[in-house]
Structure 1
C-alpha cells in the first residue's frame, strides 16, 4: 500500500480569525530558511525511508509563502528518501496574493501538479471578518494565474455558515466558484474553535452565533448545485469532477499510511501506530537541530479504537463502510458489535444498511457527528 507524505508549513502573513492550526506570523527569511532545514533533516532521518509514496501534500499555514528554492529543497529530499510513484499527486495549499507567475512556474518545475486554493468566500465583508488578508479580486487574479501557468488540477476551499451569512449570499459564492470551474471543491460548514479570535467575538456577542438550521440549508443547496454542475460528491465535504478526487485526503478516511514532517505534523503507519510532532515551531526546530526527537506524542492503538475509527472515517465517504472489508480487517462483524446502536441510527434515518454497506443518509450527512459518536 502506497503512503502519503504530509509537510506542515506554519507560516502565514496574518492569522485568520477562525483558525486553530499550528501557525506563525512570518517574521523573516532567516526563520523560514531555518525551518526548511529542520524539515529536510527530519525527512532525511525518517524511519520509513524507501516506502512507496503516491501523494505529497504541503499544508499549513501558507505553504505558498515558501520560495521556489525552499519548496524544491524539501521536495528533492522527499524524492531522495522515498520511492515516488511516477503518477504522484503533489498538492500545495496556496492562498490568494501569495504567488507570482514566476513562483508558480518554479513550483511546477519542482513537481507540484495540484493546487489547493484557499478562497473561503468571495464576499468582501466576510473576508474581513475572517481576517484572510486578501480580497475577492486577489482570489480571481490568483486563479487566472494558476490556469495561465498550466495548473489543470485546482481545488477550492470554501466555508458556509459564517456569521450574518444569508442563503442568497452563499448561493452567489457557489455560483461564482462554479463559473470558475475548478476540478475539485472542499466545502465546509464553519466550526467555532475555542481560543480563536472568532470564538471570542461570538462569546462577547460582537458577532452572532452561526445559525445551525441555516447552515443545514446551505449544505443542501451546495449538494444540489454541485451535483447539477457535474461534480460528484465522494465525501461529506468534498466534490470532484470524475477522476479528480483527492488521493491524499482519501488516505486519512481509509486509514492508509501517511508520514508527516514539520511542526504539529501527524503520522499513521497504516496499521496501529500514530504519532505527532511538537506543536510549537521553536520547540520543533530546536529538537531537530540538537539531534533530539521532534515527536511529542506516540500511541499504539487498541483493536477496538482502530475498528471504531475505521468505521466512522469510512462513513464520511459517500460509498460508505464496506462490511466485508471491516470484518476482514478486524475479525468481527460490525453489525454484531453495534447491533442496537445501528438499529437506532437506522430508525432515526441517519444511516442506511444495504447489502454489504453502511452509508449515511442525506439527513445523516447533516447530523454526522451524532452518528460518529457511536464509534468513538
Structure 2
C-alpha cells in the first residue's frame, strides 16, 4: 500500500519524470496519473495510476489524499479542476489561470487588456468566407493558430495569400477548431523568460534565455541569451512577473517572447508548468525549474536561480538514426565527458523528443560546440 502523497501530478511525460529527482531530494512523495504503464514518468515514479486526464473519476483517484495537484501538460478540463477544488484539492495552477495556457485566443485578449506587449491578432469567425474577408482587412502574410491543442509547431500555419488561408481554414473549421490570426512578426530571435510563483505571492526569476526552433520544435537553448541588452532583459523579466501575478499563476511559468528587429519584446506563448526552455537549469542553475515548481505549488520557500557558470547550452535530442540511446550514451560521454545526458525512456521515432544534453562553461563558443557535438552523437551517431 502506497503512502499518502504530498502531490498529485497529472500526465506521464518527461516533465513529470524530471520532477521526481528533486521530489526525492526534498522528501516529497508524488502520485502520478499516467497515460500508460510504461510512459516516461511512470518508469521512475513508483506510485502511479494509469488513467485518462479527461476522466473525473481517474483524476479523483490520483488526487485521493493529496492536498495539491499539478500538471505535466495543460489539457485537463477546467470543469474537472473546479470539481477537484470543491472536494478540497488545490490545482496549481488553478483553472482560472490555466485557461490562458489552454486557449491562445483567451490569452491574447487577456494580455492585451492588461497592456502587455503582444503581436497584432484577430479571432476569426467560424465561416471560411467570413474569415477570409476579415483576413483581407487584417493583411497577409499572417500566422494562423488553433486556439487550443497546438504545440511543437502543430496547429500553426504561415499563410501568404487568401488561397493559402482558405485551405487551412476549411480543414480547421471542418474539425471544429477555432482559429486565431496573428501578424507575422519580424523578429531577431526567440527568448524565454521563466518565473516561479507561490500561492503566497513570492516570485523568483531565471535569466532570460535564447531559444532556437527548427520546424516549430525547440532545438537549442542558450542561458543567458547572448548579447541581450540589460534593459530588454529586465523588460522581458518584468513581463513574465506581471503575467504570473495578473493571471494568478502558481508554479513555473514560461513566457516565450519575440525579440523584434526594432528592439522590443512581444509575448508569443505561455506555459504554466516546467518548460523545455528551462531544462538548462537542471545542470546550470542553483535550483532547477523542476525543484522550484515543486516548491512553488506546495508553497515552500523558493530556491535561488543563480547560474553555476557563465554559460549553459541545452540541446534537445530528437528521434534520429540512433536507436539504442542508452548504449550510445557511453559514446557521447567518451567524446564529451563533461556533457550531462538526460534520456526520457521513450522509443525512438522521427522528430520525437527523446532526451536532451547540457553543457556548462565559461566560454560560449566552446560550450556551444560541445553541446551540439554531444547532441548530434546521441541523435545521429
What's the TM-score, normalizing by structure 1?
Answer: 0.30
What's the TM-score, normalizing by structure 2?
Answer: 0.30
Q: Which has the higher helix share?
A: 1
